[in-house]
Amino acid sequence: MPITVRIPTPLQKMTNGKAEVECSAGNVRELVDVLEKEFPGMRERLSEGGKIRRFINIYVNDEDIRFMSKEDTALKDGDSISIVPAIAGGGYNRRVRR
């Protein structure tokens, strides 16, 4: 059974509209490489300087990789991966602008 990767809406343009793709990889870093091979440009969308980008959260079977081994988090067949953009923003730092 391969690894299932849930692709977020903003990246589905790169997967021909597919919300889920299947692949094989030994850890998260390899997963990024495998996705890049299949969907060129994916590496840059997901990572920067070999690290998963800030404001992008990756879950392996519901666990945030930041609380596991980050990019080195091991993957095995049957795992379910989710790539989720953080919901974040800001205000006006007490200065009112329009």
Select from 1-9, 35-43, 59-67, 89-97 the region that touches Zn ion (CB under 5 A).
89-97
Q: What's the CA gap between 39 and 5, in Å, rounded?
A: 13
The nearest distance, CB 79 to other proteins, in angstroms, is 15
87 binds Zn ion (CB under 5 A): no
- CA distances (Å), origin 61, targets 38, 43, 88: 22, 21, 23
89 binds Zn ion (CB under 5 A): yes
Site for Zn ion in 29-48 (CB under 5 A): none
Cα dihedral sign, 18-10-62-79? positive
Positions touching Zn ion (CB under 5 A) are: 89, 91
